[in-house]
Amino acid sequence: MRAEARAKRDAFLNKLKSRPVVMGILNLTPDSFSDGGRFQNPDAAIAHAKSMVVAGCDIVDIGGESTRPSASPVSEAEELARVEQVLTALTGLLDVPVSIDTSKAAVAVRAVEIGAAVVNDVWGLQRDPSMPDAVAQAEAAVIIMHNRTEKDERADILADMRRFFDRSLALAAKAGIPKDVIILDPGIGFGKTSRQNVEAVARIPDLKDYGLPILVGASRKAFLGSLTGDGIEATLIGTVAANLVAAAAGASIFRVHDVAEHVAALRIFHSMHGNITR
């Protein structure tokens, strides 16, 4: 890992100890569920990333493959082609770190070579057998997200998350990934029913015994529409409300599309919640 990326990685991890942290989403895909196609042009993508940093985000998460249900998989070469130019530009331009949203070890390795500081794996080191060693050798921080191949309304979602995280953490330990660079993500919207998504947020306190920071990615997820009764998932207020509930439950990183609004809401939450809990 480059020295500049290592410094950004460490500064990012240190922030998690003191206040809520906002991760801005930058999808370089034609088919992401919310903003697919908006930032395929490199100039538009770079401008949007810069605007998110101005708005206060602490890290920019770049993805070249949609993870929405039924999305078509893309090859390693195609994913790299989508992200390399923008990654190269942003790692030189931004003061905040960049993370790569990928489940492919080769993409993760190349992204860190360019300057990414964090690997965000929606399959928690379990999809690509090479990923644990790749992350360890790259010295990147890693986000381990819980995922399922399909929904099962009978599943005990907390027990399922714990089994998944235990396996991922065992893979991380075997590869030599230090515990202090690992972040857990309950995987809101991935292989879960609406009820299980709600439960996954509510049970965040039950994951705190891992002693690791918790990231939540509820932004514009479909289950929010089911809670309001109008079926509209992309409303800003629903996402902000869900993230504040997650913050109260103990989450410390929030992966969002709407950066400025979350920076303001979480700043107020942090100030008021800190006074209430003293």
Known catalytic residues are 221, 255
Mapped onto helix, strand or coil, the DSSP state of residue 41 is coil
- Angle ∠(208,195,258) on CA atoms, nearest 5: 70
- CB 235, CB 261: distance < 8 Å: no
- Edge-first strand order for the sheet with 21-27 is 182-185, 141-145, 118-121, 98-101, 59-63, 21-27, 253-256, 215-216
Instruction: Give dist(CA 99, CA 170) in Å, integer.
Output: 23
In sequence order, the 6+-apart residues with CB closer than 8 A to the CB of 51 are: none
Instruction: Give dist(CA 136, CA 214) in Å, integer.
Output: 20
**Residue 25, strand partner residues:** 61
Q: How far is CA 140 from CA 16, 115, 183, 233, 237, in A?
A: 16, 10, 11, 33, 33
**Residue 51, strand partner residues:** none
- CB 234, CB 228: distance < 8 Å: no
